[in-house]
Structure 1
Amino acid sequence: MSVVCYFSTVSSNKEIKKNQQKIQMILDSKKISYEVVDISSDESGKNKMRELAGDPKALPPQICNGDQYCGNYEQFEEAVEMEEIEKFLKL
């Protein structure tokens, strides 16, 4: 299984863009490989993200490990602060 980040490349929401960039920066700095699914160009990706998150209105960024839901940006940030990112990502 691999870490999958559900992002949107065309979001006009600056907070979402900033959060997505921070996730990528942290994963890159920790050398954790991940796949990005752009929900803005893939309707099935958006549907899968919302299904995995268990929220029909979930917004990006959302993080999964394969088909296991890990959490949203706030949960990711908390895991980073608590130095539990591997546990959060189910690695």
Structure 2
Amino acid sequence: MTNSRQKIKKKQQDVVRFLEANKIEFEEVDITMSEEQRQWMYKNVPPEKKPTQGNPLPPQIFNGDRYCGDYDSFFESKESNTVFSFLGLKPRLASKAEP
């Protein structure tokens, strides 16, 4: 049985790999190292997205102060090719080489 810490780490790595592969700038925040960051995350996850008991678990995804969603929402958007809109970013068009 996988413990919850390993599951959280795997989900975080999945998000980070996607962002890196798509060259999306991001800042990874480790809430275990900062009480201030942990409280900020808890406060900024919308009430309807919070669990009925306890606090929301990472990864929680934000674009600046805008809440995007949790891992399940991220995964669903990845499956349906809507990650850029999920993240509040403009979709990338195939880039043409600059002359």
TM-score (norm 1): 0.83
Aligned equivalents of 2:4, 2:67: Cα separation in 1: 25
Aligned length: 81
Percent same amino acid among aligned pairs?
Answer: 41
Match of 1:74 in 2: 72
TM-score (norm 2): 0.76
The one of the two structures with greater contact order (alpha-carbon pairs below 8 A, sep at least 6) is 1
Aligned equivalents of 2:23, 2:31: Cα separation in 1: 24
Structure 1 vs Structure 2 CA RMSD: 1.6
Deviations 1:20-71 (A, max 9, x none): 0000001101111101111011001011111111336111100001111000
Match of 1:52 in 2: 44
Aligned equivalents of 2:43, 2:85: Cα separation in 1: 22
Greater CA radius of gyration, 1 or 2? 2
Match of 1:41 in 2: 33
Aligned equivalents of 1:25, 1:51: Cα separation in 2: 26
Aligned equivalents of 2:78, 2:26: Cα separation in 1: 16
Q: 2:11 aligns with which of 11, 19, 27?
A: 19
Q: 2:24 aligns with which of 29, 32, 35?
A: 32
Question: Any gaps of 5 or more consecutive residues in structure 2?
Answer: 90-99
Question: Any gaps of 5 or more consecutive residues in structure 1?
Answer: 1-10
Find runs of 4+ consecutive structure 1 residues off by over 4 angstroms: none
Match of 2:95 in 1: none
Q: Secondary structure at the match of 1:36?
A: coil
